[in-house]
Amino acid sequence: MTGAGTRFDLLVRGGLVVDGTGRPARPADVGVSGGRLTVLPPGSSSGSGSGSSPGSAAGAAEVLDARGRVVSPGFVDVHTHSDGVALLGPAGDGDRPGDGSGNGSRDGSGRELVRASVLQGVTTEICGNCGSSLFPALPERLAAMRAETRITFGGDVGAYADFAGFAAAHAGVPRANHLASLVGHGTLRAGVLGPVDRPARPGELRAMCALLDASLTQGAAGLSTGLIYTPGSYAGTAEVVALAEVAARHGKPYVTHLRDEMSRVEEALEEAVEISRRSGAALHVSHHKTAGRYAWGRTERTLPRLAELRAGGMDVTCDVYPYTAGSTALAAMLPPWANDGGLRALTARLGDPAQRDRMRRAISEGVPGWENTVGNGGWDRISVACAPRHPRAEGATIADLAAAAGADPLDVAADLLVAEDGEVTIISHSMIEEDVRRVLAAPYAMIGSDGVPKPGGRPHPRWAGTFPRVLGRYVRELGLLGLEEAVHKMTGMAAARFGLSGRGVIRDGAHADLVVFDPAAVADRATFTEPLLPPAGVDAVVVGGAVVVRDGEETGARPGRVLAL
Ligand SMILES: [Zn+2]
């Protein structure tokens, strides 16, 4: 309650509150003091109605006028690859050579990359997805891991023994929003065995479980796998079950990029279900999709299966991004054996014509157990997103580059990988709109950008556009989702899944993470050619009670921190 003399640090006045639970919107004012919320009847704080008080508005240090706007909890981006971007520093281009275009600050400096997330209303990012995090590792593996993350993040972002080390590295870098991290199984595996294609020995598996246990105790959010990516893909089901049992003991979820999201997506989903059942861990399916021409329409089978599991009492959820294109590493287009030993081993193999022919055959014929993206689509659906030493290739498809060079596409891809030390990001136009809509509409699907913020190039626009795109295109324009339902997917549902207690809702005592947006104007503006353009209609963002975005611009406040869960 607000009595006379109540002073708020901040008052968000006159808006329509969508509280994140899915309940109907209602007019209310929202006060903030000490980083916590108080919900006030509309007008009670305006100073116009309640007489004696000179007005609580005057009793607030700062007021945000939210008339005509929606006030919602801050968005939780449940799926990012933003683990290292803040550690790159403001220039953020690491050892990237200049491309002469003079537009480095527009299309991908560290500062531009970091702010894209908060400008779309994200107050908490969850990184460490798809089996890849910046920790943990045995001490003797840290130097090798640091060399790999230097390449994959385009700068020296480090590698850490555990979650506490990761959090300490971030503690020295002021940030606008909060960050939580999962423990990536591929990283964990490389941190014990190295990036090798063989089963873990019993002692190695015990060491992996111990490292996982320590990081979960320190506050990591759960366990993630990326079972299409090496070295995670070298693990069998039993290894993942053993690790998921550790997550289950902590009451934290098993979060998985399935072993196949294309022609064998249903089998891959059943493997995840088995892992959840045997381990007792809750299951969260990352960026659920059925990609590649042979799997288009298959969400008509996977979603009823998930609904059936939920009806049977299983704790299973998923996330989704609102685009028909994905983004990943070019190296992931090659068969698993090609990546055995890590990036250096890959580039060595790519220098051998006989090995290239073997890769070409694997792509045209398939390899059992391997999701073959190019075989399921074609090089004409793969475009180059980030290739720092070849800016002219960025935006072109591998097929176009091959045609222009009069070369075979595999050779073009191989040459590019060798010249870039194995690290090239691609965009894969692999999905159809009907599948994306079906997943978005599933009542247990939350929103995750799957953003991969890396310096330079043309990253997927989802890092800057996901949340406004859902609210603009899928709520306002297409009516696929109700406003309250969409906000719930971005806030309360996500916070409940990942244990963000006191976040994702607007209620008395909750953490003061808020977004103020215009429901009539909110829209993504980021595109594949201008991937970091800020959205329209996201007026203000509040993190921990501090206004970090006002009138669509960063204020410079840096209240964010790493969340230990
Ligand atoms: Zn993934």
CA of 343 to the centre of ligand 1 (A): 19
CA of 66 to the centre of ligand 1 (A): 36
For residues 495 and 488, what is the distance between their CA atoms, to the nearest angstrom? 10
CA of 226 to the centre of ligand 1 (A): 6
CA of 278 to the centre of ligand 1 (A): 23
For residues 215 and 162, what is the distance between their CA atoms, to the nearest angstrom? 5
329 DSSP β-pair partners: 425
pLDDT for res 456: 80
Neighbours of 24 (CB within 10 A): 10
3-state SS string for 186-211: HHHHHHHHCCCCCCCCHHHHHHHHHH
CA of 251 to the centre of ligand 1 (A): 22
Neighbours of 313 (CB within 10 A): 6
φ/ψ (deg, to 5) at 523: -165, 150
Q: Is-contact 78 498, C-beta < 8 A?
A: yes
Neighbours of 197 (CB within 10 A): 15
CA of 545 to the centre of ligand 1 (A): 32
CA of 176 to the centre of ligand 1 (A): 25
Q: Is-contact 407 293, C-beta < 8 A?
A: no
Sign of CA dihedral 540, 490, 265, 230: positive
**466-to-125, 311, 470 alpha-carbon distances in Å:** 13, 29, 6
CA of 223 to the centre of ligand 1 (A): 13
CA of 67 to the centre of ligand 1 (A): 39
pLDDT for res 154: 80
Q: Is-contact 216 176, C-beta < 8 A?
A: no
For residues 506 and 21, what is the distance between their CA atoms, to the nearest angstrom? 8
| Structure tokens that stand for 222 in this block | 């759960």
Along the 565 residues of the chain, how does pLDDT read in single tens digits? 444 456 899 999 999 999 999 999 999 999 999 999 999 999 876 544 333 344 445 579 999 999 999 999 999 999 999 999 999 876 554 333 333 333 333 345 778 899 999 999 999 999 999 999 999 999 999 999 999 898 888 889 999 999 999 999 999 999 999 999 999 999 999 999 999 999 999 999 999 999 999 999 999 999 999 999 999 999 999 999 999 999 999 999 999 999 999 999 999 999 999 999 999 999 999 999 999 988 999 999 999 999 999 999 999 999 999 999 999 899 999 999 999 988 889 999 999 999 999 999 999 998 888 889 998 889 999 999 999 899 999 999 999 999 999 999 999 999 999 999 898 999 999 999 999 999 999 999 999 999 999 888 888 999 999 999 999 999 999 999 999 999 999 999 999 999 999 999 999 999 999 999 999 999 999 999 899 999 999 999 999 999 999 999 999 999 999 999 9
CA of 36 to the centre of ligand 1 (A): 34
CA of 186 to the centre of ligand 1 (A): 12
Residue whose pair of structure tokens reads 């079906």 in the numeric block? 438
CA of 82 to the centre of ligand 1 (A): 13
10 DSSP β-pair partners: 32
CA of 79 to the centre of ligand 1 (A): 8
Q: Is-contact 417 424, C-beta < 8 A?
A: yes
CA of 352 to the centre of ligand 1 (A): 29
Angle, in degrees to the nearest 10, between helices 237-249 and 185-193? 110
Of residues 70, 62, 76, 10, the one with CA closest to residue 38: 10
pLDDT for res 91: 56
Predicted TM-score (pTM) of this structure: 0.92
For residues 189 and 235, what is the distance between their CA atoms, to the nearest angstrom? 9
CA of 190 to the centre of ligand 1 (A): 18
CA of 257 to the centre of ligand 1 (A): 5
For residues 124 and 311, what is the distance between their CA atoms, to the nearest angstrom? 30
pLDDT for res 44: 75
Sign of CA dihedral 206, 564, 176, 493: positive
For residues 466 and 494, what is the distance between their CA atoms, to the nearest angstrom? 15
pLDDT for res 6: 67
Amino acid at 411: D
CA of 370 to the centre of ligand 1 (A): 15
CA of 138 to the centre of ligand 1 (A): 25
CA of 459 to the centre of ligand 1 (A): 15
CA of 129 to the centre of ligand 1 (A): 7
CA of 165 to the centre of ligand 1 (A): 24
CA of 81 to the centre of ligand 1 (A): 9
CA of 220 to the centre of ligand 1 (A): 18
pLDDT for res 98: 36
Alpha carbon 540 to its chain centroid, in Å, reads 22
CA of 384 to the centre of ligand 1 (A): 18
CA of 487 to the centre of ligand 1 (A): 23
H helices present in 352-432, as ranges: 353-365, 373-376, 398-405, 409-419
CA of 104 to the centre of ligand 1 (A): 27
| Structure tokens that stand for 166 in this block | 């990761």
Residues near 404 by Cβ (< 8 Å), separated by ≥ 6? none
Q: Is-contact 526 532, C-beta < 8 A?
A: yes
CA of 286 to the centre of ligand 1 (A): 7
pLDDT for res 99: 36
**82-to-102, 221, 286, 503, 549 alpha-carbon distances in Å:** 25, 15, 15, 20, 19
For residues 167 and 177, what is the distance between their CA atoms, to the nearest angstrom? 14
3-state SS string for 286-334: CCCCCCCCCCCCCHHHHHHHHHHHHHCCCCEEEEECCCCCEEEEHHHHC
Task: Say how many Å lie between the first and final Cα of the chain, rounded.
Answer: 30
CA of 342 to the centre of ligand 1 (A): 18
pLDDT for res 5: 55
Of residues 487, 544, 540, the one with CA closest to residue 512: 544
For residues 492 and 488, what is the distance between their CA atoms, to the nearest angstrom? 5
Q: What would the DSSP string read from start to end of 138-154?
A: -GGGHHHHHHHHHHHHT
- pLDDT 10s digits, 14-35: 999 999 999 999 999 999 999 9
Q: Is-contact 539 552, C-beta < 8 A?
A: yes
